[in-house]
Chain A
Amino acid sequence: QKEVEQNSGPLSVPEGAIASLNCTYSDRGSQSFFWYRQYSGKSPELIMFIYSNGDKEDGRFTAQLNKASQYVSLLIRDSQPSDSATYLCAVNGPSSASKIIFGSGTRLSIRP
């Protein structure tokens, strides 16, 4: 079992709709959870982080964390073509010491 699992996609969403990206993780000791956006040929860019159960909103982005289900999600409202990218879910916690463990990413495509 992979430590962080994501559906590789591609996920195709019409412009203006809500894009929903999901991620599960295996280490119950994980404490910090991140979403990175990566455009083709570029490095990952941190867009959201969440530490506590529940929702965290930042502009058009909402991160959701459910530690009991070991599940993290990212919602993107009013999707724009510029949101087309690969979204990487990542976790960090006491069991993984100093490292951040990434999933393989979900490719999101926003169609006009």
Chain B
Amino acid sequence: ETGVTQSPTHLIKTRGQQVTLRCSSQSGHNTVSWYQQALGQGPQFIFQYYREEENGRGNFPPRFSGLQFPNYSSELNVNALELDDSALYLCASSPRRSDTEAFFGQGTRLTVV
């Protein structure tokens, strides 16, 4: 158990809808990163939040957005869902910004139909 929790665990949405995924970071961790993992691929970095500010972003369109709250929990929002957004979405928390190991939550499996 890493202490990182994500909700929901599974979700089915229709193309064009919007979705919000949630993550509670491990106690003492102020950095949260989000990753998308398609089947058979490694996780792809979406963005990172450090003390409520975005601290780096991967190659994802603006319809992927996020937030971090004062308690360091975080949300990932995806607008205008596309079929290719179907994936496992992983949240990882770290005790420090960058250059350190990340501990993953159990993930949210999103299916877009």
Chain A interface residues toward B at CB < 8 A: 4, 31-32, 34, 36, 42-46, 49, 88, 90, 92-94, 97-105
Contact = CB atoms under 8 A, between A and B. Distances in A.
17 contacts: A32-B101, A34-B101, A42-B106, A43-B107, A44-B43, A49-B101, A88-B42, A97-B55, A97-B98, A98-B48, A98-B97, A98-B98, A99-B45, A99-B48, A99-B56, A102-B35, A105-B42
A31 B101 CA distance: 12
Given A97-B56, A99-B33, A46 B42 contact: no
Contacts, number: 64
Given A98-B97, A102-B42, A43 B102 contact: no
Nearest to B100: A32
A54 B99 CA distance: 19
Interface in B54-113: 55-56, 58, 88, 90, 92, 97-107
B106 A43 contact: yes
Contacts of B2: 45
Nearest to A103: B42
Contacts of B99: 31-32, 92-94
A49 B63 CA distance: 33
Given A43-B90, A44-B43, A88-B42, A100 B105 contact: no
A43 B33 contact: no
Please name the 3 residue pairs, one residue from A and one from B, whose CB atoms are nearest each other, closest first.
Answer: A102-B42, A98-B56, A99-B45
B25 to A, nearest CB: 14
Interface string B7-45: 000000000000000000000000101010000111111
Nearest to B91: A43
Contacts of B105: 43
Contacts of A97: 55-56, 98
A92 B90 CA distance: 17
A97 to B, nearest CB: 5
A94 B56 CA distance: 12
Contacts of B107: 42-43
Nearest to A45: B104
